[in-house]
Structure 1
């Protein structure tokens, strides 16, 4: 048997109320409440009334369940009734033992019964049911009213949409006529935007009515979900069946109203969709059209054909200007009022801020010609006017009025010229106050802007620009050279101007007047951006010199200075962007080619990413400097930290920050960090082959830093080199020898080879002096002298005390060894030398001889009979060169060597002479 969801919800609410106040539901209902119960209750047999003595909290729950069972709308089966009876019997048996207590409680309840019985009791189901019927009646009335008023709304809607359709047809014709001209196409795009906004504004009331109908239909759907699936079931009461039929009829009526609204709105919505599609196509074509406009082919201005249809081209130019009026200025009185109001508010806001800053900083300066006063009196007013024009150029649709935007950018350009010159004078106060040197470049600049802004014919624009370039060259030759002193940037720019003008003249004569004007504008804008950037950096440097060096204010000040450097770069970039944005189509070009950036593979990179990376670079560098300075001052703040841990901590902190910056830079350019796993795999192969030495030194450096095997200031000996450690980096360690030679030792040598650290444990070191005295010297006196000499030296430690050992009986000396500890390694050599000097002096005074190695040879005379017979002496060849003898002249024809008959006889003489000489 089906049970309605709504009724089940009502029963649950009843159960919750019974649990909250069981005494109320346990009381006997009033007559008024009995009359409110449905008549169907009479047909159902009443259950036994609960005894008054048993109306406690559990009994109240039981009574509530019995009341729920008495509801006519709930159809329970036999199994459910059996289970309910079994539970009731079990509860009655369980409480039979507590009868006495129940009677006492029932008396108390009886005393309170008259007061409770006076409260009116209303069935929660009746409340829910009446609310649902009232809601359905209200929805039905609204649906009927919407159906009645739809005919009038649909008639007015069709009449109002017709002018917009005519406007769409005219815009389509204009677009097909001027499809290759960027100026008219941009105007058509602006008019399409205005048409779509007006059409949506007109459709708003109808769309709101449709939304109301849709909301009512959803509410009816929620009510229908609570109804049973089969409304013709005989188990439902007639009242429920009537409610279901009304619900279905109201749903059908609302569905019909929505269909009528959709049918009436279909033409207007289709028109909006078509206009938006057309505008998307125009927005995609405009950057390409402006690009082709600035990169156009040479104009044959010397050809008669170029001037043949001059009148028709001028007529098209005038039509283009008229067509661009909605793009340039507001066309309605309401939009003019909004633009003027924005201009006044922007001017007031910036003006008040400028006055406050002037009173705070510049009012105290008594010099009327000071640079600071000139900034507030000339530069900042131009800046305020430019910002006010920019604020008024924003239209209601989010687009810009081109004329206001151009005027605002030109005012900002003038402000930049004065501000850049003022900032430069802050660094060079010796340069006399004069007109900004770049002001002479502004006249050709303004002329080029006007020529590019107006949609005139190309030959006419070329001739006008050619005259302007020639006049500028002549004026430049006649203009005296400015003496700017140490300002080499301005001098170099002014010296390069004639070269740029001659290049512009050549390009103009070749028919490339657009290239010529853009080149001159690029030269002036880059020169001004360079001057502004250098002036800003000079201001930052001067502020940095005046900042405090310690404390929280110093940290915040240095952080602000670090941020000011990228701010200066951003200001320079924005300054150049303003020059581009002032050009016709400049905003489209900036958005398409600069802000969107370029694609390098699957990565997109633009100027904003570059500025973010530069900003984070300056912030990271400042954070590294501040963190290193903070760590270096930790031991001075009273913290119990080893000073030798500071350099490793600074190194780890520095590498951690720069690693974070590297990850940010990779993410800023669009690289996914998950791709670093592939990069790491490639690097592992490179490390295994070509970078193993670098990685070995890097890892060895980390081992040395964090294991503290070496520290700055230690005296080490490695590979036969002894010296003092000056700095430990991740690649190599700088060791300074005692000869003042700086040796760069790779870290891998310290890890892989044998290392001697003389000062790792402490600065004390033990030295040994060996001395030998002659045999016959008093050994005890020698030992006393050695001990006394060592103890008398101030660099020798008293503990451990010096010691003397009788080392050995030498071949020529009695050997003694003196061992003592020196307080510092640096004075160990000089201390040993001083002790040796004292030992020598004491030995000389005590007549103790420091023996030296000597050998005595005694030759004994043997008796005559023991002498062995001497063998005859054999003649030996003399090493001395024989005297020269005259050569014997052989007869002609004789061969062979001359005979040496006297050679044997000459040998003894040579031998005797050699023996005598020896």
Structure 2
């Protein structure tokens, strides 16, 4: 049904414009009625006559527009009648479809059948909603036009109450009468629309109520379906019962196919298949185009093969889901199960491809759990969704579980990583236990447990693969360079975030498959109320997401603050300030995250006040040093007395500051040892900063020459040695000072200036080597300590006593 016609809209807008033009001339219309004054080309009487003529033309045009609006309403009423018949016919068809759905719901013997009925109910609701969309828009248009008419009626009533001329009063009353008649007709039309929409609205409300009832019934049916023991062994031993079960299953499946295909011609099927084929090839074509545009020569054929297969499986899954929506509700669960098989295969292939792309085809770890678990998952899904009889499905699934366990046991020792070894060991114990559970009559529960196990392993494998790919990309960005934003976003990701994202996406998908979205939402929103905190899974996930988003924000901020493409002349001057700014920005981001986390977990202002009071007491006792260091760190950052890159003298050792943290400052000694200095020590103690305002520092080389050496030659050679060192500054110029007459040498000091205080020892070593070489070339002797020994008396031979005889000699 068409919306409100443009003719009606034009008529009402023209009427509103006419009245707006009419009101400004109201004083002329209601002027004095006495004898007219002298007339002339510019006389007042001529102007009034011209205005009256214009007014009559305008009001006549207004009445004509109102008549056209009335004719448009008449046409709309006829369209409404025809549309009402269409609505009634469509509504009758929808009622027949509802009766068919009710019959299928009555015949349903498993939750999967009820799930098919729920899909049909959703389709029915969409069609009923489509019947109401156009009339609803039509009614909204009528309400808008009635608003216009109310405004016009108000203005006309005000105009009539101000005493106009008789002719004008008559004209305006005629317009007001036409307007009121038009308003009555619009009200009648609105009433007819409401009457036409009444049955459809009631039908939609009844369908909504039925869907609510079916949802409760479906949610209650899953537990007995999975956890009720099935006597499959007795049915298997009875050939007649077994044959009857198989015949019933084949008959019901054939009936579902007939219902799905009835009433459809060959053209519809060919069009649906053509669209499905196009959807199936779309992901593969997009992947090939992206790879061709990026020209990735480093991609290994095995990696490309995995991703191509994943794209093909994804396309097939999308095509099957498209066909499921076109065929109808009776085969929706079966086709959705086939689509899920393709989707999970695409995820397994993608995880393998990411692992190969990250670790390399030769060094990638081998895993033997993904495909066996995927096979068990697919087998269980394809056994339970179509409703395969339990005497056939139970032994088949138990046999598959035992075969998968033997396969994992045989190849599990070849796993190259600890994670794969743990997964293989768990599967070796879990799969036989599930086989026993299946043989005990709980095959459906075993299928459900296998699905959970598969999705858990798949989530872990995808998370590990994404983590390896992230590390590989970060290494490539660090070595070959890349966009700062890409590196920052990758560095902000973490294992918990990726794992939770994949795992809860799997849960959301599973809840959609089981029509248990309400249960999934209730699980997320279930709250645990403590004294000052409200905890729920949704809040915990929000805090984790906020934590990693904060990490990403900090990484992005630091990447733009600490840019490496700054000009060389500015890099040294802005480096310390950039590090300080980056640290302050990190503090601000973490502070914002703390506030958001507190409000996400439901901290009330009262709770915050209590926590603040407790913190104040803690600060007064145990946290005093921590808070002191934190405040000292803020003073260092804002005061910039110590910045990253500064060279300090601490305890007699020269250190280079790396960064200023919350509670300490990290520095590195010349021996590459890391020193953690409390921030409060840097504030309260004495610290020598060799590069606070300028990196230029003076260093000295002391040398002693022998007495009698040429002092001018020594001075010239020392200056020449300083000039030979490229790391010694020419401005300020080196200087030589004759300091003292030593005990054994004339002592000189060579004073040089350098701008790399952390490399002072290396620079001075080069200067000393140059001094030694120049002194050797020019014969200048470097003095060394000398000692004179004076012998005052030396005894003669006669004064030396003879050697006494030993007792043995006397006896001989």
> Normalising TM by the smaller chain, what interval?
0.5 to 0.7
Instruction: Tell me the distance in 1 between the aligned counterparts of 2:163 and 2:294.
Output: 92
Q: CA deviation at 1:449?
A: 0.6
Q: For the residues of structure 2 that align with 1:627 and 1:543, how far apart are their CA atoms?
A: 19
Over 3 Å counting, the alpha-carbon distance change for 1:397 and 1:599 in structure 2 is farther
Describe the shift of the 1:252–1:621 C-alpha distance in structure 2 as closer, same or farther (beyond 3 A): closer
Q: Are 1:379 and 1:415, in contact at CA under 8 Å, matched by a contact in 2?
A: yes
C-alpha offsets along residues 828-880 of structure 1, whole Å, 9 cap, x if unaligned?
Answer: 99999x9xxx99969979x9x9xxxxxxxxxxxxxxxxxxxxxxxxxxxxxxx
> Does the CA-based 8 Å contact 1:727-1:734 persist in structure 2?
yes
Q: 1:6 touches 1:227 (CA, 8 Å); kept in 2? A: no
Residue 763 of structure 1 is matched in structure 2 by 697
The residue number in structure 1 matching 2:67 is 137
Structure 2 regions of 5+ residues with no counterpart?
Answer: 1-14, 528-533, 723-731, 772-779, 791-812
Question: Which one of 280, 288, 308 corresponds to residue 347 of structure 1?
Answer: 280
In the alignment, the residues of structure 2 paired with residue 138 and residue 562 of structure 1 have an alpha-carbon distance, to the nearest angstrom, of 69
Judged with a 3 Å threshold, the aligned counterparts in structure 2 of structure 1 residues 492 and 842 are, in CA distance, closer, same or farther, namely: closer
Structure 1 SS opposite 2:156: coil
Instruction: Report which stretch shifted further, 208-217 or 326-335.
Output: 326-335
**Which moves more between the two structures, 660-669 or 509-518?**
660-669
Q: Are 2:220 and 1:289 aligned?
A: yes
Find the aligned partners of 1:657 and 1:228 in 2 and give their Cα distance: 67
Distance 2:258 2:71 in 1: 47
In the other structure, the counterpart of 1:375 is 306
Are 1:268 and 2:200 an aligned pair?
Answer: yes
CA-to-aligned-CA distance 1:445-471 (integer Å, 9 cap, x gap): 222112331346xxx537733442235
- Separation in structure 1 between the aligned mates of residue 366 and residue 675 of structure 2, nearest angstrom: 57
Shift in alpha-carbon separation, 1:300–1:707, aligned structure 2, 3 A: same
Secondary structure of 1:588's aligned partner: coil
> Is the Cα–Cα contact under 8 Å of residues 530 and 572 in structure 1 kept in the other structure?
no
User: What is the CA-CA distance between 1:597 and the residue it aligns to?
Assistant: 2.7
Contact 1:417 1:528 in 2 (8 A): yes
Alpha-carbon contact 1:413-1:575 (below 8 Å) kept? no
1:504 aligns with 2:434: yes
Q: 1:45 maps to what in 2?
A: 35
* Correspondence for 1:750 among 665, 678, 682: 682
**Structure 1: how far apart are the matches of 2:416 and 2:673?**
44
Q: Quote how far apart the aligned CAs of 1:197 are.
A: 3.8
Residues 328/554 of structure 1: CA separation in 2 closer, same or farther (3 Å cut): farther
Residue 415 (structure 2) pairs with residue 415 (structure 1): no
Counterpart position of 1:10: 21
Inter-CA distance 191–391: structure 2 relative to 1 (3 Å threshold): closer
What CA distance in whole angstroms lies between the structure 2 residues aligned with 1:767 and 1:208? 94
Q: What CA distance in whole angstroms lies between the structure 1 residues aligned with 2:133 and 2:403? A: 63
Closer, same or farther: CA 312–224 of 1 in aligned 2, 3 Å: farther
- Cα 1:187–1:607, aligned 2, differ >3 Å: closer, same or farther? farther
Correspondence for 1:31: none
Equivalent pair of 1:604/1:669 in contact (CA under 8 Å): no
CA distance, structure 2, for counterparts of residue 691 and residue 327 of structure 1: 75
CA-CA distance at 1:240 after TM superposition: 3.2
User: Is residue 524 of structure 1 aligned with residue 454 of structure 2?
Assistant: yes
Provide the C-alpha distance between the structure 2 equivalents of 1:245 and 1:741, rounded to a whole number of angstroms.
98
Secondary structure of the residue aligned to 2:39 is coil
Residues 238-259 of structure 1 deviation map (CA, whole Å, 9 limit, x = unaligned)? 3333333333333334333433
Equivalent residue of 2:649, what SS?
Answer: strand
Q: What SS does the aligned partner of 2:592 have?
A: helix
* Contact 1:532 1:572 (C-alpha < 8 Å) held by counterparts: no
Cα distance in 2, alignment partners of residues 320 and 607 from structure 1: 46
Deviations 1:341-366 (A, max 9, x none): 54133134334334545766899899
CA contact (8 A) 1:715 1:757 kept: yes
1:605 counterpart SS class: helix
Shift of residue 194, structure 1, vs aligned partner: 3.4
Partner of 1:410, secondary structure, is: helix
| Residue 520 (structure 2) pairs with residue 586 (structure 1) | no
CA change 1:667–1:125 in 2 (3 A) is: farther
Deviations 1:80-123 (A, max 9, x none): xxxxxxxxxxxxxxxxxxxxxxxxxxxxxxxxxxxxxxxx9994
Counterpart in 2 of 1:597?
524
Q: What is the distance in 1 between the residues matched to 2:234 and 2:737?
A: 111
Alpha-carbon distance between aligned partners in 2 of 1:297 and 1:269, rounded to the nearest angstrom: 41
Could you tell me which residue of structure 2 aligns to residue 240 of structure 1? Answer: 172
- Displacement, 1:337? 6.7
Higher Cα Rg, which structure: 1
Residue pair 1:379, 1:416 contacting (<8 A) in 2 also? yes
Q: 1:606-621 maps to which residues of 2 (within 5 A)? A: 609=542, 612-613=545-546, 616=549, 619-620=552-553
Distance 2:158 2:442 in 1: 81
1:449 alignment counterpart: 381
Aligned: 1:663 with 2:595: no
Q: Distance in 1 between matches of 2:561 and 2:323?
A: 49
Give the secondary structure class of the aligned counterpart of 1:340.
Answer: helix
Question: Structure 1's 149 and 295: CA in aligned 2 closer, same or farther, altered over 3 A?
Answer: closer
Change (3 A) 1:221 1:339: farther
Structure 1 length-normalised TM: 0.61
The number of equivalent residue pairs is 726
**What does residue 120 of structure 2 align with?**
191
Residues 134 and 571 of structure 1, relative CA distance in 2, 3 Å threshold: farther
After superposition, give the CA deviation of every residue in 1:373-420 in whole Å (9 maximum; x if it has no partner): 533664433333223334444569999943333222212323344444
Following the alignment from structure 1 to structure 2, what is the Cα–Cα distance between the partners of residues 250 and 548?
A: 76
Once the two structures are TM-superposed, the CA of residue 10 in structure 1 deviates from its matched residue by 3.2
The residue aligned with 2:394 is 465
Shift in CA distance, 192/641, structure 1 to aligned 2, threshold 3 Å: closer
Aligned pairs (5 A) from 1:809-828: none
Q: Distance in 1 between matches of 2:178 and 2:26?
A: 30
Please give the TM-score of this superposition, normalised by the length of structure 2.
0.68
8 A Cα contact 1:10 1:124, kept in partner: no
Structure 1 Cα separation of the partners of residues 546 and 328 of structure 2: 33
More helix per residue: 2
1:633-712 superposed matches below 5 A = 634=566, 637-640=567-570, 642-643=572-573, 646-657=575-586, 659-660=588-589, 663=592, 667=596, 671=600, 683-710=615-642, 712=645
1:240-296 per-position Cα deviation (integer Å, ceiling 9, x unaligned): 33333333333334333433443443333223223223334544665x436535763
**CA offset at residue 692 of structure 1?**
2.3
Q: CA-to-partner distance for each residue in 1:196-223, whole Å, 9 max, x for gaps? A: 4444555667667656655554444343
- Corresponding position of 2:660: 729
In 1, Cα distance between the equivalents of 2:646 and 2:80?
A: 94
Q: Give the Å deviation of 1:560.
A: 7.6
Query: Contact between 2:321 and 2:335, CA under 8 Å: does it hold in 1?
Result: yes
Task: Indicate if the aligned counterparts of 1:418 and 1:436 stay in contact, CA closer than 8 A.
Answer: no
Q: Could you list the runs of 5+ residues in structure 1 that have no partner in the other structure?
A: 17-36, 56-62, 72-119, 770-781, 807-812, 850-918
Report the Cα offset of residue 695 of structure 1.
1.7
Shift of 1:588: 3.2
Residues 474 and 840 of structure 1, relative CA distance in 2, 3 Å threshold: closer
| Residues 194 and 734 (structure 1), Cα distance of their counterparts in 2 relative to 1, 3 Å cut | closer
Deviation digits for residues 603-646 of structure 1 (CA, Å, limit 9, x no counterpart): 66279858855863674465366346525x64xx2344654x52
Aligned to 1:386: 317
Matched, 1:626 2:559: yes
Q: CA deviation at 1:748?
A: 0.9
Could you report, residue by residue, the CA deviation over 1:300-346 in whole angstroms, capped at 9, with x for unpaired residues? 76799x99999999999899979988999998669867743541331
Alpha-carbon shift at residue 653 of structure 1 (Å): 1.0
The 1:520–1:665 alpha-carbon spacing in structure 2 relative to 1, beyond 3 Å, is farther
Q: Quick check: 1:279 aligned with 2:234?
A: no
